[in-house]
Amino acid sequence: MVPNITTTCLSFIPPMNKTTMTTNKARRIIIAAVVIAVAITCTKWYWYKHHQAQNQLSYQCFSNGQGWGYDILLGKKILIHQSINPAVKGRIAYDSKQAAEADARIVIGKIKLGETPVFNSHQMQHTGTLPAQ
């Protein structure tokens, strides 16, 4: 007579009672909850870092052959491209990188305050981009 394979295989598995099954189920639920919590935390952290970097204002000065200018950037996107000094008549670039940087910092400050990034002659004299009159 051939032994029943189900009986032979099952004889190696320890019997489970109701307490063991409840404990295993509770462990699985706890592990699943921890994995989900870690996944949510990582996703939020990544989104926050990515979103913060995209919304960061910065400037980048450049030389255009005639002088200096600047770009105002939001993340990697150019918001303002200023290749000339708007306070000087004609299409004349900034004389120095420092003058372009000074105006770029003021523009960023105005944008952060919710103001229109427009200069008056007093502000231009203060930054040194417009000669005193």
What pLDDT digit, counting tens, does each position of 59-106 carry? Answer: 999 998 889 999 999 888 899 999 998 888 888 899 999 999 999 999
47 with 66, same domain: the answer is no
Of 9-23, 33-47, 70-84, 108-122, where does mean pLDDT reach its minimum?
9-23
- Which among 54, 73, 96 is the end of a domain? 54
pLDDT value of position 70: 96
Q: 12 lies in a domain?
A: no
30 with 74, same domain: the answer is no
Average pLDDT over residues 39-57: 78
Q: How many domains does the chain have?
A: 2
Considering only residues 120 and 78, tell me which one the structure prediction assigns the higher pLDDT: 78
* Band of residue 23 on the pLDDT scale cut at 50, 70, 90: confident
121 with 61, same domain: the answer is yes
Contact 95, 51 (CB under 8 A): no
119 with 62, same domain: the answer is yes
Q: 14 lies in a domain?
A: no
pLDDT value of position 107: 92
Q: 113 lies in a domain?
A: yes
- Distance between CA atoms of 44 and 39, rounded to whole angstroms? 9
pTM: 0.55
Using CA atoms of 51, 55, 58, 64 in order, give the dihedral in degrees to the nearest 10: 100
What is the extent of the structural domain holding 43? 20-54
**DSSP element (H, E) containing 45:** helix 18-54
Most confident of 70-74, 112-116, 129-133: 70-74
Q: 5 lies in a domain?
A: no
76 with 118, same domain: the answer is yes
Q: 104 lies in a domain?
A: yes
- Which among 38, 54, 70 is the end of a domain? 54
46 with 76, same domain: the answer is no
